[in-house]
Structure 1
Amino acid sequence: MHFLGELIIILIVTTLLGQLFARFNLPPVIGQLLSGIILGPAILSWVHPGNIISLFSEFGVILLMFLAGLESDLDLLKKYFNLSFTVAGIGVILPVIFMGTASLLFGMKFLEALFIGIVFAATSVSISVEVLKDANQLHTRAGSAILGAAVVDDILAVVVLSLFTTFSHEGGKSGLTNNFFLNLLIEVIYFGAVWLIYKFIAPYFMKAAEKLEVNYAVVIASLVLALTMAWVADFVGLSAVVGAFFGGLAIRQTPQYQEVNSSVSAIGYAIFIPVFFADIGLSMTFASFIKDIWFIIIMTILALVSKFWAGKYSSEIFGFSKNDANIVGAGMISRGEVALIVAQIGITHHLFPEDIYSSLILVIIVTTVLSPFILNHYLKNLSK
């Protein structure tokens, strides 16, 4: 029962630190991650990574990506498709080029450098949404551009991650067979099945579940669908988070999605998701901090610049004013939980050197913390 004691400590500290960061208008997720650093081997050594914590963490990341899919507004994406796709597309390409090239210059192998670029390709829009809400700018053209681009960003990041795990055998995932092209065909079939589930199966499945006289039948059905898609994704050689994300997208377009979102959020954020973020912190050490200081500084600058330029100059192409374009650029900077998820997948499957893991997490934290301050700066210019 030693695990129960560790779980109690994790839940208390993640909640308190999350609240502390929220009070200063900073992402609570950073407080949750710091709790793992404080409690783990890096500082207090009260909690250590273990099998049960890892299981809770794995389920937490699946729920987190399922919720990300549930919260992706495809109607908004359709309305601003050209703008959103341009901002997001360039916002994926620039970090991969900038961060990947820098990683090569720091002596990493090509596939390792490419994966580090992918880590910083996604955007966590939840932080920007809170800042935009406070400034009453969420439903402006700039706010809609950020929201739409974030949806595309997440989808592109998931697809790029899928392609990387398909083409790279570095992570020990060579697919269902030993034939690369057969594996690729199987994964294409999987995405075809995802489309069928999205278009036809999910609505009927959820409608049937609604008729059952069982408590939370709709929520159970949604989890069964998402977990099945995650399990099959992992089975065919993709990442389980890919299936969970598309499971969320499939449920999103059903009438029951709000009930599912509310219930799964309660399940996830009450226990499994805090454990996931704490588990990331448990894996960190500061042994190589001084040695990697230039890596941290340069990667932080590139992480900020790549997303900001992508959002800014893409928006200007569509006729945005200079300040509105700056708002879009600043709104795309935050990496947050999405980058943490990809980094965790990378370290689990040995897709980049373990000795830079802590430094990468630190870069993600710094860019995530700085993003609301940069966005606020440009929002204040609107009132001048």
Structure 2
Amino acid sequence: MELLGNLTLILLATTIVGHFSTRIGIPAVIGQLLVGIVLGPAMLGWLHLTHNLEGFAEIGVIVLMFIAGLESDLQLLKRYLKPSVFVAILGVIVPVLGTFWVAELYHLPLTESLFLGVIFAATSVSISVEVLKEMNALNSREGTTILGAAVVDDVLAVIILSVLVSTTGTAVGGHTSGNLLVTTLMQVVYFAAIYFVVKWLAPYMAKMGKRLMIPMGETLMAIILCFGMAYVAELVGLSDVVGAFFAGIAISQTSVKSTVDRHIEPVGYAVFIPVFFVSIGLNMDFNGLGKQLGFILVLTVVAVVSKLVGAGGGAKLAGFSWLSSTAVGAGMVSRGEMALIIAQIGYQAKLMSPVRYSAIVAAIILATLVAPFLLRLTMNQVTKGQKDRSKVRPLND
């Protein structure tokens, strides 16, 4: 009964707020995040992140990233692989150094300083995907680079986290330094297996779906592949969103792409995806944060600027214009669920003191709230610049 009441409240609030957010030109996802903050422990206390809501939220981000993969152009992803790697590497190095400096400034222990860098090295591209979809820019050069870089970024962050937890932390979920090499090898095998999935498994499952004598057979087979790849990704120490994204790419190469896309979007956006965005806001709690306000503000500013400079610098090195580079950097600013998950893992592994945990979560959410505004602003400038250039060209002919 509690779950039904919570879902009713979330869907009612996100529908109303999303409508008015879009009407005044604010990304709908911002309204959904604010619903979580207002209705959650931070303000009214009407909603709390229960185990059931966490399950809905996890399905929401998996479906969102599956849709992102489904609507991505594989040829464009291949074409922009080089800039994606540049963006990801610099987008990890600069935030690690920047947030490590903040930790040293506030005299945090060395282990906690290192872990803080790992938290803010991560990127959650789910919010950027939503903004890019709203702007019809998901398959633009900037959008494709952001998607590719986010995957590489996620892998790098997971590897660094694995090393840090294995060498300095308390074992979490049975992972110790003894199986670090095995975990790394399993991740390599996982990425190698993606080629097999795209080439053979996904087309075979698509054909099976067409032959099934049940409604929406193709979509059911696609969801099975999505959840299966997300589950295996978690088993080998990666984020489930990585598996979901590549499952979407695999299905996008089959003849059932448009059918699956048409069926799965209404389900995702009607229920699961709004719950995911609200859940990020529900992690916010203002209790006891007054004394750490300076730390939160400095950490938030460094988190935003370091990702903007690092990822944007990587795009510039890869040959992008300053405007496009800034847009790519803005698309990588959001930390969202990836940073929250890493923070929780580190907290359980005793890599972070309870005193700083709430402040770090607050900084993650603040950086996540800023990200959609930055991305929309910079992408609008990119679009405006492209239109201006197209008007100038005929005059030069």
Report the TM-score when normalising by structure 2: 0.81
Residue 230 (structure 2) pairs with residue 234 (structure 1): no
Tell me: CA distance 1:144–1:68, structure 2 relative to 1, closer, same or farther (3 Å). Answer: closer
Partner of 1:330: 327
Residue of structure 1 in register with 2:245 after alignment: 245
* Residues paired across the two proteins, number: 372
Of 53-62 and 93-102, the range deviating more from structure 2: 93-102
Range 158-167 or range 8-17, more displaced: 158-167
Q: Which residue of 2 aligns with 1:360?
A: 364
- C-alpha change, 1:257 and 1:33, in structure 2 (3 Å) is same
Give the stretch that moved more between structures: 244-253 or 95-104.
95-104
Note closer, same or farther for the CA distance 1:283–1:148 as it changes in structure 2 (3 Å cut): closer
In the other structure, the counterpart of 1:266 is 266
CA contact (8 A) 1:92 1:156 kept: no
Partner of 1:25: 25
Q: 1:294 to 1:313 in 2, by over 3 A?
A: same
SS at match of 1:270: helix
2:373 aligns with 369
The 8 Å contact of residues 159 and 184 in structure 2, kept in 1 or not, is answered as no
1:166 is aligned to 162
**Distance change >3 Å, CA 95–CA 163, structure 1 → 2:** same
CA contact (8 A) 2:123 2:339 kept: no
How far the C-alpha of 1:122 sits from its partner, in A, is 5.2
CA pair 242-12 structure 1, distance change in 2 beyond 3 A: same
Mapped contact 2:40–2:48 kept (Cα < 8 A): yes
Q: Does the CA contact (< 8 Å) of 2:95 and 2:306 recur in 1?
A: yes
What do the CA deviations read for 1:330-373 (whole angstroms, capped 9, x no partner)?
Answer: 3431457x621202322443455532212320122123324423
What pairs with 1:178-193 in structure 2 (closer than 5 Å)?
A: 179-193=179-193
**SS of residue matched to 1:102:** helix
Structure 1 partner of 2:295: 295
Quote how far apart the aligned CAs of 1:146 are.
0.8
Match of 1:210 in 2: 210
Q: Which residue of 1 aligns with 2:118?
A: 115
Displacement of 1:66: 2.1
Q: Structure 1 CA distance, aligned partners of 2:236 and 2:254?
A: 27
- Give the conservation status (yes or no) of the 8 Å contact 2:69–2:252: yes
Matches of 2:207 and 2:176, distance apart in 1: 33
Distance 1:377 1:97, change over 3 A: same
State the one-letter code of the partner of 1:366.
V
| Residues 17, 32 of structure 1: 8 Å contact kept | yes
Deviation at 1:190, TM superposition (A): 2.8
Q: Give per-residue Cα distances to partners, 1:157-204, cap 9 Å, x unaligned.
A: 231243245333457144499533233333333333333212321122
Residues 7-32 of structure 1 show CA distances to partners (whole Å, capped at 9, x for unaligned) of: 10111001111222222222211111
Tell me which amino acid in the other structure corresponds to 1:7: L
* Superposition TM-score, scaled by structure 1 size: 0.83
Q: Counterpart of 2:325 in structure 1: which amino acid?
A: V
Give the one of 343, 349, 370 matched to 2:339.
343
Q: Aligned pair in 2 of structure 1 residues 111, 59: CA closer, same or farther (>3 Å)?
A: farther
Distance 1:183 1:291, change over 3 A: same
Map Cα deviations across residues 32-57 of structure 1 (whole Å, 9 max, x no partner): 11111111122112222222212212
**Structure 2 vs 1, CA of residues 365 and 381 (structure 1 numbering), >3 Å: closer, same or farther?**
same
Structure 1: 5+ residue stretches without partners: none
State the match for 2:149 in structure 1. Answer: 153
Q: 1:80 to 1:335 in 2, by over 3 A?
A: closer
**Which amino acid letter does the alignment assign opposite residue 184 of structure 1?**
T
